[in-house]
Structure 1
Amino acid sequence: MGVGEELTRLVALAGGRLTALVRRVCAQTLGLPPLPVEVAVDAPGSDTEAVVAEFAEQFSVDVSLIGDEQRSRLWAALGDKTFGVVTQMYIADFVPRVRAGLQALDVGREYLSWVNGVDAWDHTSDASDAVFSGFLPAVARLRALDALTSELVRLRGASQHHCRLCRSLRETTALKAGGSERLYGEIERFENSRLLTDRHKAALRYVDALIWSPAHIDPQVAAAVRDGFSAAEAVELTFDVMRNASNKIAVSLGADAPRVQQGTERYVITADGQTVFG
């Protein structure tokens, strides 16, 4: 399936009260319209739901500030359901951001068919499988955006979410296209960089907007993306930010240890959207 079908599939994942709760909490935290829900949940109805709601709120505000105590409370409340529920948080947190981004750029309307409701709720699919085996590879198969810009966007997201794993990786195609540690070192101070192009800076501003202020994307930020990127590139840029933000799942659960203790490890994304290391 393509990205649009995979995104619609994520929105249609039912999940009961907990999914409805995290969709309400994440959207309310972001100040964005929530994803459709199968059942209405106005507030936590139990101690477990209160723990989930607290975690979901911090997941949306700044995932890097989730600590061991909060993680322990979530694991104690959910047990072996924890990973699946946190994956649902990722969907509830980032699909509304994608909607806001595409609307601000005035592109990709065909990816938002679910906005007015879900035709049929999916009660059987596993959220983790839908994300990691379906949606993320579908985004990785997109090829409108150049590899170097994609890598700069990925590394900016890694920095903003404090993902140690993501920071330890380097995409090989981007390195061959001009990527370097010197260039990547400019990402943290990209506004003043003399190495990064105006196009790169426009992309990085947009990354920051989706991560930190998705409900208030500066019109000038959106205009710079429209001016510097084709519609297809702008759509891919938006979905790249969401794909990279799947690192929030690992960061929130303290599972983002780097793959190497020193230096970085290279990887390549294959034509079918899979990540191959080494």
Structure 2
Amino acid sequence: MSHDPLLDFRGQRVLITGAGSGFGALLAQQLAERGATLVLGDIQAAPLEALVETLRERDVAVQAQLCDVASEAQVRALVRQAEQSFGGLDMAVNNAGIAHPFTALEQLDEASFDRQIAVNVKSVLFGMKYQIPLMQQQGGGAILNISSMAGIGGAPKLAAYAAAKHAVVGLTRTAAVEQARRNIRVNALCPYYSHTPMVDDGGLADASTQAMLASGSPMKRLGRPEEIVAVMLMLLSPANTYMTGQTVAVDGGVSAF
């Protein structure tokens, strides 16, 4: 474990939603290697339990519970787990989210739109609603909300997802301004399509679709989870103390066009 303050997470109590797979699972492992204490939530029991077992074998202090992030009560319970088990919360990563199949805007149905708002927007609101007071009590903290490139630009055939991810950016910027004097940093991460279960196991899995998505990036490939998580670590870093309210694209150059 490095003692460089940029990568030293010893003593940091970190909550992660959507921790069972994708970015969340990899981030949990990376933080554990750097000394963090973890509170993990996911809606799926099996991958969450497998991750916890792996972490505990490495003597990581970790608590986990099922959490449907569209439920305010369950999000509140996850934050309370951090307080009850570890006495507080230093960092939170509101990572859980869902996509929807490619659909032209005029063909979107209300149920699909509502589901995007419930899982991708309310989850971030509920998370910060309960994370922020804990951080206020101890004089500071860091929150990272996972948005998307669809949160800073148009996303053809992903209108509901884009609307939800734009809303995450609005919540992030507002919370950052409200909490800046209290030493609570709030930033958003906006990845391009990356090889996570949402992409590889969802409606974007076929080779022709992935080739099309890759061609949209100047690097001509999708992102790798470890590339996205490296920037998550940077944004959460205890040494990164003056950066707040930012929307950081990790996109192979897409936003440079």
Task: Tell me if TM exceeds 0.5.
Answer: no
Higher relative contact order at CA 8 Å, sep ≥6: structure 1 or structure 2? Answer: 1
The structure that is strand-richer by fraction is 2
Taking structure 2 as the reference length, the TM-score comes to 0.28
The structure that is helix-richer by fraction is 1
